[in-house]
Structure 1
Amino acid sequence: MQILFLSRWYPYPANNGSKLRIWNLLRALGRRHTVTLVSFVDPAEGTPDLEGLRGIVSEVHTVPWREFDPGSLRALVGFFALAPRWMVDTFSPQMAETIRRVLHSQKYDLVIASQVVMGAYAGHFENVPAILEEVELGVYFQKQERAVSAFRKIRHSLTLFKLRLYLRNLLKRFSGYTVVSEREKGLLEGMVSGSERVRIIPNCVELEDYRDIRMPKRENSLIYAGSFRYDVNYEAMQWFVGEVFPRILAEIPTAQLTITGDPAGKRIEPRTHVMQVGLVPDVRPVVASSMISLAPLQTGGGTRLKILEAMALRSPVVSTSKGAEGLEVRAGEHLLVADSPQDFAAAVIRLLKDETLRESITEAGYRLVEEKYSWQKALIFFLKWIETIPTGSLSGISQLETRHVDDDEKN
C-alpha cells in the first residue's frame, strides 16, 4: 500500500514517548508498505535529521510547529469555537496545504493521522480512507476531576464538552481509531458510537533495541526520563523533588536523582543531589545504570513507555497508581506502587536497600515486557488490521483479537 503518515512529532531521534511509538510504527509500516511522512518539526530542535529515516520512509515533508499561545488572537477567538481553544490556535494552514499537495502528487491507499492534533486535518484527506492513531482522552477527564477551584472545574468541564462535540463530528471521517489501553477505549466509546472501529494497540518496546544495553549500576541512583513539554512530567517531578526526595535523603543521604528529557524552558528548583541534565544523545545507558526508575505521575492517560523502557533495561520501577495505569502489572511483583509522599519514599528506600527484592522486580518486569509489551507481537495485529481498512471490510476487522496477538496470529 501507499500510506501517508501524519505526525505531530518528528520521530527521529526518538527521545520522548510519542516519538518512540511513532518511530516503531513507521519501522513496521516501512517493511511492508511505501510510506510518506508529513510531520511537524519543533524549530527549537534545529534542522530535522532526514538521514535517520532513510530506508524507513520514501519521502519526508516537514512543517514548523507553533506552540499553543493562550493570549493569541486565534486562541481568544477559540473561546467561541466548537473545538477546544488549543486546537483552534495550533491549526496550521501550511500543514493543511502540504497534506493536500502530497495527496495530489500520487495515489494513496491510506492516511494514518497520529494523535488528535493531526486528526484536525481530516477535511483535507481527499476521501482517502484514514485511521486516527492513539486517541488519548484520559488527561482531559483527570484535569476536570482534579480541579481545586470552581472556576477551573467549569473551565475544564467546558473543554471536555467542546472536545466531546468536536470528536463526535471528527471521528465520522475515520474508518478506525486506536487507543493504548482499555480505559482509553472506554472513554472513547463513551463519547462516540461505533465501538467496532476502536482497536487497542498498547505502547510497547522493541526488545532488540535494549537487549545489549548493560551498564554497571550507580550506587543509590534514581532516574526520571520524561520531557517537560508534557506538563504531566513536570508536575510529577515537582511533587517528587519537593515532597518525596527529602524523605529519601533523610534515610539514604547518598541518593542521587537524575532527570533527563527536554526541559522545555521549565527548571526544577536546584537541590542537593538533583541533576536536571536535559536531553541526552541516548537515554538508554543512563536508565540501565540507575538502580531505580521513577514514575511518580499524578495525572495523564495511556500507558507509560518510560516504565516499559525501564523494565526492558532492567531498571526496577517505583510508580504511583496513576503512573502504572493501563499496564497489566501486579504491584509487588513487576514494580512497586505507592501514592502518598511517605509511601513512595518508603518504597524507594526499601528497593534501594533490598538487593533480593530489586533482582526479583527486575526479572519479573523484563519477563512482562517480553510476554505482553513487545512491538514484534503488537505490530502483527496492527499491520493485519490496517490492511483491511482500504477495502472497507469492517466485518472482517471486528473478528480480530483487539488486545494481544493470539498464538495463531503469529504464524
Structure 2
Amino acid sequence: MKVLFLSQIVPYPPHGGVLQRGYNLVRELGREARVHLLAFVHPDVLPTEAACCESRAALEKFCEAVEYFPLWPKASPLHRVAGLAVGALSPRPFSVLAHRSAAFHRRVSELIATKNFDVIHVDTIALARFLDKRWSIPAVLTHHNIESQLMERRAGAERGLLARLYLRRETQKLLAYEAKMSGSFDVNVFVSKTDEKTLLERVPGLRTAIVPNGVDVEYFTPNQGKDMPALIYTGGMNMFANRDAVMFFLNEIWPLIRKQVPDVRFFAVGQDPPKELLDLAARDPHVVVTGYVTDVRPLVCDASVYVVPLRVGGGTRLKVLDAMAMGKAMVSTSIGCEGLDVRPDEHLLVADSPEQFAEKTVRLLQDPGRRLTLGRTARELVERRYSWRTIGGQLLEAYRIAIENRRQAR
C-alpha cells in the first residue's frame, strides 16, 4: 500500500502528544506500507538545521520520502501577531490560516498527479483544505480531538474577556469548518468513541473508524524507583491545557494536600513553564519545575502518584498512557482520562472537585498497597489495548475501509 501522509508537524522527536502519536504510527505504517510524508516544521520543536536533519534521518527509516515546509506564523513573533490579527478578521479558523502554504498545496497536487497512491492520510482537519473532492484517491481524516470542543473548553477556562470572546468566535468557526469538511472524507478517524459520538451528533452520516492513542510498552515499563512522597505531572507548558492544569492544581488542590502530607513534593515537568509557575516554585521549595527533559521516565518512576488535573482537552492523553505503562498509580479528572477504556477505582482514581482530588491523592500517598494494585492493573490494560503495534494495524484497517468506501461509491 502507498500512503501520502500529510502532517501538521514533523513527528520527531517523539516527546509527547501529537509528536508521539505521529512518530509511532509512521513507524508502524512503514512495516507494511510505502509512506511519503509531507510535514510542517515547528521551529520551537526543531530549532536548527541540525535538528531538522536528525529528524529527517530518523523518519527516513520508515518513509520512502520525507519533505518539510515552513509554518509561517512561527517564523517570528511578528508573524504570530499578524496571524492572530488575520484570524480575528477571517471567517476561517486560525489553525486553517496558520497552515496556509502555496508550496505545500502545489506539492500535494504534484504528488497526486504523478504518484499512484492508494490512500491519503490527512492528520488534522486544519490540512483538509489541501484536498480537492475531485481527486479519485481515497482520503482519511484524523481527529486528534474535536477541535471545536477543545476550543469551547478553553474559552470556558479563559479569564480575560477579550481572549474569551476571541476563543468563542474560533469555536463557532471550527464548528462550521468541521461540518463542511469532515463529510468529504472516505473515513474520519477518531482516537476515542467519545469523540466519534460528539462529531456524529454534529455531522450525521460520517463514515468513521476508531484508532486510539497508544504507548510504547517496551520503552515505558514499570521500574522500582525511590517511591518518595512526590506527585508528578508531565506536559509541555507551551500548551494552554497543561498550563491551566498545573496552575489549577497548585492554586486549588495542592494546599489541601500539603495540610495532610507536609513533606510531599510536586514535580511539574515540561517545556516553557510560565512565569507565574516559576514564581510560585520560588516561594514554595516543595514545588519543583524542571522545564523540558529529554527523558521523563526517571522522574515518573520516582514519584508516588501521577496526577492529571486537566480541565481542558480533547481526544485522549498520551501522557496518561505512558504513566499507566510505567505502572504508576494515578488520580485524574474526568477530562484527563476521557476517551480511554479505563474503569475508575480499578485502573486509576477519578475526581473533579479540588476537595475530592486532594482526598484521593492523599489516600494514595498513604497506601502503598493500593498504589501497587492500581499500577499493576493499569499496565495490564495498556499491554492489552494500547500498544502501537496493535494500533498501527487498526490504522491500516481504516485505510482499507476508506478504499472500499470509495470503490462502492463509484
TM-score using structure 2 length = 0.86
- Kindly state the Cα deviation for residue 109 of structure 1 after the two structures are TM-superposed: 2.1
Residues 347, 375 of structure 2: 8 Å contact kept:
yes
Match of 1:55 in 2: 61
1:194 to 205, 222, 246: 205
What secondary structure is seen at the aligned counterpart in 1 of 2:331?
strand
Identify unmatched segments of 5+ residues in structure 1: 397-411
> What is the CA–CA distance in structure 2 between the aligned matches of 1:42 and 1:74, rounded to whole Å?
15
1:307 to 311, 314, 320: 320
1:131 aligns with 2:124: no
Matches within 5 A, 1:6-17: 6-17=6-17
The number of equivalent residue pairs is: 394
Residues 100, 125 of structure 1: 8 Å contact kept:
no
> What is the CA–CA distance in structure 2 between the aligned matches of 1:14 and 1:280, rounded to whole Å?
13
Match of 1:249 in 2: 258
Identity value in percent: 29
- Kindly state the Cα deviation for residue 7 of structure 1 after the two structures are TM-superposed: 1.3
2:173 to 132, 137, 162: 162
Matches within 5 A, 1:71-150: 72-73=81-82, 75-104=84-113, 106-123=115-132, 127-137=136-146, 138-143=149-154
What secondary structure is seen at the aligned counterpart in 2 of 1:322?
coil
- Kindly state the Cα deviation for residue 175 of structure 1 after the two structures are TM-superposed: 1.3
Match of 1:328 in 2: 341
Match of 1:401 in 2: none
What secondary structure is seen at the aligned counterpart in 2 of 1:209?
coil
Residues 99, 125 of structure 1: 8 Å contact kept:
no
Q: Give the stretch that moved more between structures: 327-336 or 21-30.
A: 327-336
1:383 aligns with 2:396: yes
Q: Give the stretch that moved more between structures: 331-340 or 158-167.
A: 158-167
Q: 1:311 to 1:141 in 2, by over 3 A?
A: same
Q: Give the stretch that moved more between structures: 10-19 or 69-78.
A: 69-78
Q: Give the stretch that moved more between structures: 287-296 or 93-102.
A: 93-102
2:306 to 282, 285, 293: 293
> What is the CA–CA distance in structure 1 between the aligned matches of 2:273 and 2:122, rounded to whole Å?
25
Matches within 5 A, 1:365-376: 365-376=378-389
- Kindly state the Cα deviation for residue 31 of structure 1 after the two structures are TM-superposed: 0.4
Residues 73, 79 of structure 2: 8 Å contact kept:
no
Residues 122, 173 of structure 1: 8 Å contact kept:
no
Residues 82, 165 of structure 1: 8 Å contact kept:
no
Letter in 2 for 1:201: V
1:205 aligns with 2:218: no
- Kindly state the Cα deviation for residue 295 of structure 1 after the two structures are TM-superposed: 0.6
What secondary structure is seen at the aligned counterpart in 2 of 1:208?
coil
Q: 1:297 to 1:145 in 2, by over 3 A?
A: same
> What is the CA–CA distance in structure 1 between the aligned matches of 2:407 and 2:373, rounded to whole Å?
44
Match of 1:40 in 2: 40
Residue by residue over 1:182-214, the C-alpha shift from the partner in whole angstroms, topping out at 9 and shown as x without a partner, is 22112211232323x111212122322324x62
What secondary structure is seen at the aligned counterpart in 2 of 1:358?
helix
1:225 aligns with 2:225: no
Per chain length, whose mean CA-contact separation is higher, i.e. which structure has more relative contact order (CA < 8 Å, sep 6+)? 2
- Kindly state the Cα deviation for residue 70 of structure 1 after the two structures are TM-superposed: 9.6
1:263 aligns with 2:269: no
Letter in 2 for 1:30: G
> What is the CA–CA distance in structure 2 between the aligned matches of 1:123 and 1:77, rounded to whole Å?
24
Letter in 2 for 1:191: R
Residue by residue over 1:124-159, the C-alpha shift from the partner in whole angstroms, topping out at 9 and shown as x without a partner, is 995532111125223134345667798777655533
Identify unmatched segments of 5+ residues in structure 2: none
- Kindly state the Cα deviation for residue 76 of structure 1 after the two structures are TM-superposed: 3.6
